[in-house]
Amino acid sequence: MKKPIIVIKFGSASITTAEGELDEKVVKDIAKQVAVLHQKYNIVLVSSGAVAAGKKFIPKYAGTLIERKAAAAIGNPLLLQTYSRYFEPYNLAIAQSLCERHHFSNRSQFLQLKKTYEELWKNNIIPVANENDVVSNMELKFSDNDELATLIAVGFGAEQLLFSTSVPGVLDEKGKVVPEIRVIDKEALSLARTDKSSVGLGGMTSKLNFARLATQMGIKAVIFGIRTEDGILKSLKGETGTVCHPQPTKISSRNKWLASGSLIRGSVQVDEGAQKALEKRRSLLAVGVKSFLSDFESGEVFQIVNEKNIVIAVAKAKIDSKTLKTIESRQNIELAHADDIVLL
Ligand SMILES: Nc1ncnc2c1ncn2[C@@H]1O[C@H](COP(=O)(O)OP(=O)(O)O)[C@@H](O)[C@H]1O
Ligand SMILES: N[C@@H](CCC(=O)OP(=O)(O)O)C(=O)O
């Protein structure tokens, strides 16, 4: 029987010390827990920390984008060496996987990534993914590694997605951990304040937003404290942190990929009639488009927002937006076929 997949994400704030150095104690602890789990699960680790590990080699480091890239180039091998060192006592090798956004937007390339991971798992090797900061450009960057972890979890059909964090979980206004969130709605999202740690990119807003996407795609997501004893093992059992429950879904794996991994190019706003049609799983006709918010080519993926500007779906375009705008009568033009629309 195939082992279930779990994706575990470690942010910069989780694996660095207060001084901004890699926290080897944390890496050691990760290795100890992952060694227990890997018998039962196929595991992907998504780890930040390259910039933190590399920045001390750049005199007068001020955190500009280009300095971050240089720091990542220096820090990535150091980060991986540290993981290697602490996994070795468990006879576990680790493998580096540097990802860019377009590896996810192109389905055949994405499937190659999946095949490589399967080969690694078959050989008892644990992939450690990180964004390929050295070459990623601003426009196509992942927003942070919370996004990368989510794209991997959704695209691979993971059973659980665990986000470690520097705090014990999602905290309420009194500073107490919220033990579970049934549905990540507006109210749940508002728990995240705008503050974040000094080293990480994402913070809690990002974790909750991506946990929302994962749960909408049927994956259980847990936000847990890296400094909780046996935090990984306990969060997997729902015994610590904030458990975000998966929503029932029948979306096929191709459409999950469409909803999460694809590069969303453009965006349209639709009227109420079109929204109702989409909810009934109909195709999107151009006549229901109120406005084109940003352009897309035929074959590209665009977002659909409703009259309240809430994203309700993503879809693959049958026709490009510029041509469509020039057509007077859009009555019978199908902008996206029902099979190529994923409701969110
Ligand atoms: N409701 C909340 N509960 C917990 N942390 C929150 C909340 N709102 C904002 N935060 C911020 O999010 C940070 C946690 O994310 P962190 O572990 O720094 O992320 P990263 O993985 O991006 O490095 C906390 O240190 C805190 O500053
Ligand atoms: N790729 C970068 C980390 C990006 C980042 O800071 O992400 P996160 O800490 O998850 O918000 C690195 O390895 O340092």
- What pTM, to 2 d.p., does this model score? 0.85
Tokens coding 344:
């969110």
Ligand 2 geometric centre to CA of 250 (Å): 32
CB of 13 shorter than 6 A to ligand 1: yes
Alpha helices in 145-185 (DSSP H): 145-156
CB of 197 shorter than 6 A to ligand 1: yes
CA distance 165 to 223: 7
CA distance 186 to 1: 39
CB of 131 shorter than 6 A to ligand 2: yes
Ligand 2 geometric centre to CA of 130 (Å): 8
Going edge to edge, which strands form the sheet with 180-181?
93-99, 125-131, 42-47, 5-10, 160-165, 220-225, 242-244, 180-181
- Report the percent of the chain where pLDDT is more than 90: 68
Kindly list the structural domains of the chain, giving each domain's residue range(s) and its CATH number in brackets, ordered by start. Answer: 5-253 (3.40.1160.10), 263-343 (2.30.130.10)
Distant-in-sequence, close-in-space partners of 185: CB < 8 Å, separation ≥ 6: none
What's the pLDDT score for residue 197? 55
- Smallest CA-to-CA distance from 145 within 9, 27, 335, 258 is with 9
User: Which residue's entry shows tokens 């074959």?
Assistant: 299
Tokens coding 302:
């665009």
CA distance 184 to 179: 13
Greatest Cα-to-Cα distance within the chain, rounded to the nearest angstrom: 69
Higher pLDDT, 207 or 195: 207
What's the pLDDT score for residue 116? 97
Q: Tell me the pLDDT band of 101, cut-offs 50, 70 and 90.
A: confident
Q: Residue 11's CB: how many other CB atoms inside 10 A? A: 29
Q: Which span out of 76-85, 141-150, 324-333 was modeled with the highest average pLDDT?
A: 76-85
What's the pLDDT score for residue 296? 87
Our CA dihedral for 99, 138, 157, 146, rounded to 10 degrees, sits at: 100
Of 56-65, 121-130, 253-262, the range with the lowest mean pLDDT is 253-262
- Smallest CA-to-CA distance from 335 within 308, 304, 293, 294 is with 304
Ligand nearest 133 Cα, by number?
Answer: 2
Burial of 69: CB neighbours in 10 Å, binned 0-12, 13-18, 19+? middle
Q: Which span out of 101-105, 136-140, 171-175 was modeled with the highest average pLDDT?
A: 171-175
> Which residue among 45, 48, 138 is best mutated to probe the pocket of ligand 2, counting the most ligand atoms within 8 A of its Cβ?
48
Ligand 1 geometric centre to CA of 325 (Å): 43
What's the ipTM? Answer: 0.93
Structure letter (DSSP) for residue 110: H
Q: Does residue 200 carry a pLDDT above 80?
A: no
User: Which residue's entry shows tokens 């507006």?
Assistant: 186
Instruction: Say which amino acid occupies 249.
Output: T
Ligand 1 atom 11: residue of nearest CA: 196
Contact 291, 269 (CB under 8 A): yes
Q: Tell me the pLDDT band of 136, cut-offs 50, 70 and 90.
A: confident
Q: Does residue 73 carry a pLDDT above 80?
A: yes
Contact 150, 214 (CB under 8 A): yes
Q: Tell me the pLDDT band of 20, cut-offs 50, 70 and 90.
A: confident
Spell out the long-range contacts of 105-108 with Cβ–Cβ below 8 A and sequence spacing 24 or more: 105/261, 105/262, 105/263, 105/301, 107/254, 107/257, 107/261
Q: Which span out of 18-27, 89-98, 304-313 was modeled with the highest average pLDDT?
A: 89-98
**CA angle, 134 then 135 then 136, to 5°:** 105
What's the pLDDT score for residue 77? 96
CB of 193 shorter than 6 A to ligand 1: yes
Ligand 2 geometric centre to CA of 210 (Å): 15
Tokens coding 265:
């190019």
Q: Tell me the pLDDT band of 109, cut-offs 50, 70 and 90.
A: confident
CB of 204 shorter than 6 A to ligand 1: yes
CB of 225 shorter than 6 A to ligand 1: no
Reported as a single tens digit per residue, the pLDDT across 142-195 is 778 999 999 999 989 999 999 999 999 999 999 999 999 999 998 999 998 876
Contact 268, 291 (CB under 8 A): yes
Ligand 1 geometric centre to CA of 30 (Å): 20
CB of 196 shorter than 6 A to ligand 1: yes
- Smallest CA-to-CA distance from 297 within 322, 330, 315, 314 is with 322
Mean pLDDT of the chain: 91
Reported as a single tens digit per residue, the pLDDT across 279-328 is 999 999 999 999 999 888 888 889 999 999 888 998 989 999 999 988 87
CA 196 to ligand 1: nearest atom: 27
Reported as a single tens digit per residue, the pLDDT across 237-292 is 999 999 999 998 888 877 887 877 666 778 999 999 999 999 999 999 999 999 99
Q: Is 137 annotated as a binding residue?
A: no
Structure letter (DSSP) for residue 342: E
Q: Does residue 1 carry a pLDDT above 90?
A: no
Ligand nearest 146 Cα, by number?
Answer: 2
- Smallest CA-to-CA distance from 309 within 259, 271, 258, 263 is with 271
**CA angle, 172 then 210 then 272, to 5°:** 100
CB of 14 shorter than 6 A to ligand 2: no
CA distance 344 to 341: 10
Ligand 2 atom 11: residue of nearest CA: 201
- Smallest CA-to-CA distance from 283 within 342, 334, 325 is with 334
